[in-house]
Homo-oligomer: A and B are copies of this chain.
Amino acid sequence: MLPWKGELAGRLDVDVISSELLRGNPLGDPAERPIWVYVPPGYDGSDERYPAVYVIQGYTGHVGMWANRTAYRQPFVETADAVFAAGDVPPCIVVYVDAWTAYGGSQFVDSPGTGRYHSYLCDEVVPWVDERYRTIAAAESRAISGKSSGGFGAMITPMLRPDLFGALATHAGDALYELSYVPEFGKAVRFLRDYDGDIFRWWDDFRSRTAFTKECDSELLITLGCSAAFSARDDGTPELPFDPRSGELRVDVWDRWLAWDPVRMVDEYADALRGLRAVWIDAGTRDEWFLDLGAQAFRDGLARIGVPDDRVQFELFEGTHMAIDYRYPMALAWLALRLAR
């Protein structure tokens, strides 16, 4: 394998979508967003319609990163293409969606703290794609997939919009917040000691210098960004779900986060989940945020509400949260075989 190049069997269109819903968003982020649409080999010479898989990213990810190359591996754009190149997996359109914000992410929800990223994804990106590409424009032929925060988005979006998405894949998706988020709050409190307990002082500092040159940066960024997504005030100000000096949970704010825990959402959205054709769930057994346990708990939730086992692919694989991109094409192939066509 040559490390420095990859030719595609299909075709990747690099485009821009102009979002009305993101216009005037509270962080001043652009309303024009990059969007990459992959069409599989054979698309151009046919008039067939195809299922579509929407791919969203983890925290701090933006669509331009899908082309990043690493040693001995190929970017997902290429490994996704390889899924269809051999011809034994039925072809799909793959849509790479951008939901970046100045805080590093949106969690794919509508929030006065970051913007209307859920609606943008569902009511703008999906129609935009359906208009321009020969998709099968139906939930049973549309999946969503992602890792980490992207896995979270992939879990919640079909719950909220079963009319749009009928399948999902979550790789180490955020879930079981007591285990994945609360320990991070403890670290955040310690980091905030250098900022007099004020996360906005850190934010000012962060923007004034090279990012990620302090140990606290990653932790505080995600804390701030998720507070903006899950617990912003009406005026958009993020509220931390914990006391910034003691880490004690602020019950009312924390409850707003918990309302977004996929594990806790299972019962409320049981009908939507039972309507899904295919659910891929995996995570590394040593995930740094215990997302293997979140995956297990989400999977247990599906069983509890009666999602049939044959619609669920569950695996805890040996690994951490890092360098697990080789799992994405596995899920893509599995979904491609199950989407209606």
Interface residues of A (CB under 8 A from B): 2-5, 30, 34, 60-65, 67-73, 98, 100, 104, 176, 178-179, 182-183, 185-186, 189-190, 193, 210-213, 243, 245-249, 263, 285-286, 290, 292-293, 296-297, 300, 318-319, 323, 326
The interface residues of chain B lying within 8 Å CB-to-CB of A68 are 65, 67-69
Which one of B2, B104, B247 contacts A179 once the chains associate, using CB atoms below 8 Å?
B247
Q: 7 extra interchain contacts, Cβ-Cβ under 8 A, other than A4-B98, A68-B69, A213-B319?
A: A4-B64, A60-B72, A62-B69, A178-B249, A179-B183, A182-B182, A190-B292
Distance from A241 Cβ to chain B, minimum over Cβ atoms (Å)? 11
How many protomers of this protein does the assembly include?
4
CB atoms of B34 and A72 under 8 A apart: no
CB atoms of A290 and B247 under 8 A apart: yes
CB atoms of B73 and A69 under 8 A apart: no
Task: Name the residue of chain B whose CB is nearest to the CB of A300.
Answer: B246
* Bound complex: CA A45 to CA B182 (Å): 56
Distance from A68 Cβ to chain B, minimum over Cβ atoms (Å)? 4
The interface residues of chain B lying within 8 Å CB-to-CB of A319 are 213
Pick 15 A–B contacts, CB within 8 A, sort by A.
A3-B62, A4-B98, A60-B72, A65-B69, A67-B68, A72-B104, A73-B212, A176-B248, A179-B186, A193-B285, A212-B323, A213-B323, A245-B296, A247-B290, A248-B263
Which one of B72, B179, B212, B247 contacts A297 once the chains associate, using CB atoms below 8 Å?
B247
Task: Name the residue of chain B whose CB is nearest to the CB of A5.
Answer: B64
CB atoms of B293 and A62 under 8 A apart: no
